[in-house]
A = this chain, B = another copy of it.
Amino acid sequence: MKAAILAVGSELLGTDRLDTNSLRLTELLERYGVELRRKSVAGDSEEDIAEELRFLFSKVDLVLVTGGLGPTADDITREAAATALGRGMRFDPEILAGIERRFREHGRQMPAVNRKQAEVIEGAEVIPNPRGTAPGMRLEADNGSTLFLFPGVPTELEGMILSHLEPWLAERSGGASRETVTLKIAGLPESTVEERIAPAYAEFGREWITILASPGEIRLRATAAGPEPERRARLEAMKARLAELAGDAVFCDREELTLEAVVGELLRAAGATLTVAESCTGGLLAERITRVAGSSDYFLGGVVSYDNRIKSELLGVEPALIETHGAVSEPVAVAMAAGVRRALRSDYGIGITGVAGPGGGSEAKPVGTVHIALAGPGDEVEHHNVRVPGDRERVRWQSAQLALERLRRRLLEGVSQC
């Protein structure tokens, strides 16, 4: 089956907005083995939308449209679809009653404009929208193509995808859907990951394994297709083999889990607490750790010691140490980690000092030079000196990433993963 996605809305043709609904729809199409051939955006013009739909009907079997189902004058997807299909419209009193009820429940009267949301194209199956006033529709074009109309509001779209699109796709795929699993990796360059997993390419086929690299993090995605139970068995085999090849660099096998969340779970499991002392990352490490809800269970707090005086006064870093080695140095990173752990009485302490740039670099310590130290739970401190390429934002991000990855590995010595 071939598919196309059309997003409707003049605001999507401006400079401030991108259609992102299509990413969610694409995910679903991929899962059921439907080939997405085109994505497009049309403005709020009945003629443009109708022409686009006719063009799409001639090319693909399934057309998914989002947007333009609202109550205002520029919402004309319904009319355009009727025109493209050569169909009339009928008024559905049941839909109207539902919209009126919805407004009443919110203590308001339905504005007259909403009446047009009860207009249904002849032959359409109505898709109820429990989260909004705009119902969706499913239609068969005369040439056999199927058309779905959905609202553009992501939460409303999501509910209707789950209730109507996914079951429709599942039925047509005869259970032969696709499934993916993602392994997330920190602290290794893409080329090393590529090299390590090369045997899996030969064993499972290169087209089923994808490497997605972003600064400081790599996602390894494995896909399996076909009917159950073979599909699941194959996916589990790929996942196990990739994890074996990539080794303990894999921090997680769930797309939505972040490194800071994984580290948080390990801290919680160990009943351990953490504090951080940051210079070049300027609070980013603490900010990432506390993005995780419930992080107050293991994160006590931190010190952003931008000024050297704070390194000495709050963290107990000897001024002589800074004078001798410079603020960006191994001894200072080590003293920061040990100092914050001691001052704030935590099990683990992290110290980061570096040159984030764009200024401040020298020949001996160019921009991107970063020292990371990890203290605890005994009195031992480990140290890592790295050179991060890229701009200020990237240096800061990857420094925090590397600090979290070192802590994860330390916590793993004794605990099981994820």
A110 at the binding interface (Cβ < 8 Å): no
A293 at the B interface (CB under 8 A) = yes
Copies in the complex: 2
The answer to whether B310 and A301 have CB atoms under 8 Å apart is: yes
Mark contacts of A320-359 with chain B using CB atoms, 8 A cut-off: 1 yes-contact digit, 0 otherwise. Answer: 0000000000000000000000011100000000000111
A314 within 8 A of B: yes
A291 at the interface (CB under 8 A from B): yes
Shortest distance from the beta carbon of A339 to any chain B beta carbon, whole Å: 12
Q: Does A410 contact B (CB under 8 A)?
A: no
Chain A: number of interface residues, binned into ranges: 35 or more
Bound Cα distance A42, B59 (Å): 12
A281 to B39, CA, bound (A): 39
Partner of A39, one of B27, B41, B286: B41
Whether the Cβ atoms of B301 and A303 lie closer than 8 Å is: yes
Q: Which of B27, B55, B310, B392 contacts A300 (CB 8 A)?
A: B310
Of B42, B281, B290, B359, which is within 8 A of A304 by CB?
A: B290
Q: Chain B contacts of A36 at CB under 8 A?
A: 13, 43
Is A26 touching B14 in the complex (CB atoms < 8 A)?
A: yes
Residues of B near A282 (CB, < 8 A) are: 286-287, 289-291, 295, 299
* CB of A208 closer than 8 Å to a CB of B: no
**Is B43 in contact with A41, judged by CB distance below 8 angstroms?**
no
A266-311 contacts to B, CB under 8 A, are: 276, 278, 281-287, 289-291, 293-296, 299-307, 309-310
Q: A324 vs B40: C-alpha distance in the bound complex, in angstroms? A: 59
Residues of B within 8 A of A301 (CB): 303-307, 310
Nearest 4 interchain pairs by C-beta = A282-B290, A283-B286, A283-B283, A40-B40
